[in-house]
């Protein structure tokens, strides 16, 4: 029988597991905070576009400098895509249309580059799904630096971003620079996309930005609690997901990808939060119905007395 300590604590005494968990905790802080702004601003589709825009940059970076070029290539592609998307969405082109154009064109470029070079095909799985269990100390440091920059951008513009989310007309009337603040948030999203793609790969990054904020909104209606709950959700999913991946490999002989297991664990937490929200909503409805019934009964008794 597997001891709970062997499952949840012992694996992280190994250097590669400790490195993976460290990276997930870094991503938890920045993605948890930034994901709240993405959800409040309704930028989920734009985030998806940035995720796909990273792919050709990662491929080109790998072509030029091998494994060391993945981070820089993805960073350049993501920032360029963020600037282009922001500028195009300010024009008459609808923002969703701009995202769709960038998403399909950039991802197609990446696929074409991969198909032209047979040596890249073997690396495609790693580019798409990450390599969280083999991250190096240098990658962790680079991710931490990018995370700090993204958090700094969000912290400096947080008040204006919240106003843009809840009352964009008031923000414009107060003279806030719409282009500047949109560009700042989009660049921050691009940075976290690149930082997370090292661990989870291009296709799984979106879950880290969207799902935790969804969990938070199911569990609370208080604005100040959204970011802490979102951060805790990612941290818990990282810890449990990595533990499950390790246990399946060591005790079950089944090789589970670490990044994908973390994302699936995060989705399970979302389902639990959804169940909690449903139970709470049902209880509130019954409580409201009971209160209305009691009030009607009191009114009826009062009329009978009169």
pLDDT (tens digit per residue) in 3-48: 776 778 889 999 999 999 999 999 999 999 999 999 998 888 778 8
Instruction: Write down the pLDDT at residue 34.
Output: 93
User: pLDDT of 127-137, one tens digit each?
Assistant: 667 788 888 89
Does the structure show a pLDDT above 90 at 86?
A: no
- The structure tokens 């971003």 sit at 161
One-character DSSP codes across 88-116: HHTSSS-HHHHHHHHHHHHHHHHHHHHHH
Q: Lowest-pLDDT range, 25-34, 79-88, 180-189?
A: 79-88
| pLDDT above 80 for 244 | yes
- What are the φ and ψ backbone dihedral angles of 199, each rounded to 5 degrees? -90, -50
What average pLDDT does range 50-79 have in this prediction? 78
pLDDT of residue 219: 94
Instruction: Name the 3-class secondary structure at 306.
Output: coil
Residue where the block lists tokens 């198909």 = 115
Share of the chain above pLDDT 70, in %: 84
Could you tell me the pLDDT band of residue 93, with boundaries at 50, 70 and 90? low
pLDDT of residue 107: 72
Is the model more confident about 67 or about 298? Answer: 67
Domains of the chain: residue spans and CATH: 4-305 (1.10.3470.10)
Mean per-residue pLDDT for 147-163? Answer: 91
Percentage of the residues of the chain whose pLDDT score is greater than 90: 32
Residue 250: pLDDT band by 50, 70, 90 thresholds? Answer: confident
Rounded average pLDDT over 54-77:
78
Give the pLDDT band (50/70/90) at residue 289. low
Report the distance separating Cα 250 and Cα 268, nearest Å: 23
As a whole number, the mean pLDDT across the chain is 82
pTM (2 d.p.):
0.85
Residue 31, C-beta contacts closer than 8 angstroms, at least 6 positions apart: 192, 196, 208, 209, 212, 230, 234
In eight-state DSSP terms, residue 133 is G
pLDDT(152) > 60 = yes
| Confidence (pLDDT) at 276 | 93
> For 256-275, what is the mean pLDDT?
93
Question: What pLDDT sits at residue 150?
Answer: 93
DSSP labels, 214-256: HHHHHH---HHHHHHHHHHHHHHHHHHHHHHHHHHHHTS----
- State the Cα–Cα distance between residues 274 and 149, nearest whole angstrom: 33
Task: Check pLDDT > 80 for residue 283.
Answer: yes
């Amino acid at each position: 029988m597997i001891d709970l300590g062997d499952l949840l604590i012992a694996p992280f005494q190994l250097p590669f597991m400790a490195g993976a968990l460290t990276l997930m905790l870094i991503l938890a802080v920045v993605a948890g905070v930034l994901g709240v702004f993405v959800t409040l601003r309704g930028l989920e589709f734009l985030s998806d576009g940035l995720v796909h825009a990273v792919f050709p940059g990662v491929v080109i970076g790998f072509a030029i400098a091998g494994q060391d070029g993945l981070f820089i290539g993805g960073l350049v592609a993501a920032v360029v895509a963020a600037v282009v998307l922001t500028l195009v969405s300010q024009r008459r082109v609808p923002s969703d249309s701009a995202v769709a154009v960038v998403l399909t064109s950039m991802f197609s470029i990446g696929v074409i580059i991969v198909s032209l070079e047979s040596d890249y095909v073997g690396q495609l799985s790693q580019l798409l799904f990450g390599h969280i269990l083999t991250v190096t100390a240098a990658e962790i440091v680079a991710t931490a630096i990018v995370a700090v920059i993204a958090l700094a951008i969000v912290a400096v513009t947080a008040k204006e971003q919240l106003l843009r989310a809840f009352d964009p007309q008031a923000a414009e009337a107060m003279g806030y620079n719409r282009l500047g603040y949109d560009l700042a948030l989009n660049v921050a999203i691009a940075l976290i996309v690149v930082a997370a793609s090292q661990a989870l790969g291009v296709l799984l990054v979106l879950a880290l930005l969207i799902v935790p904020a969804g969990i938070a909104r199911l569990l609370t209606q208080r604005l100040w609690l959204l970011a802490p709950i979102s951060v805790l959700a990612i941290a818990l999913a990282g810890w449990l997901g990595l533990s499950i991946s390790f246990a399946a490999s060591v005790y079950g002989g089944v090789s589970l990808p670490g990044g994908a297991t973390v994302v699936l664990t995060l989705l399970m937490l979302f389902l639990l939060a959804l169940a909690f929200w449903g139970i709470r909503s049902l209880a509130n409805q019954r409580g409201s119905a009971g209160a209305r019934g009691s009030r009607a009964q009191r009114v009826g008794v009062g009329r009978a007395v009169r």
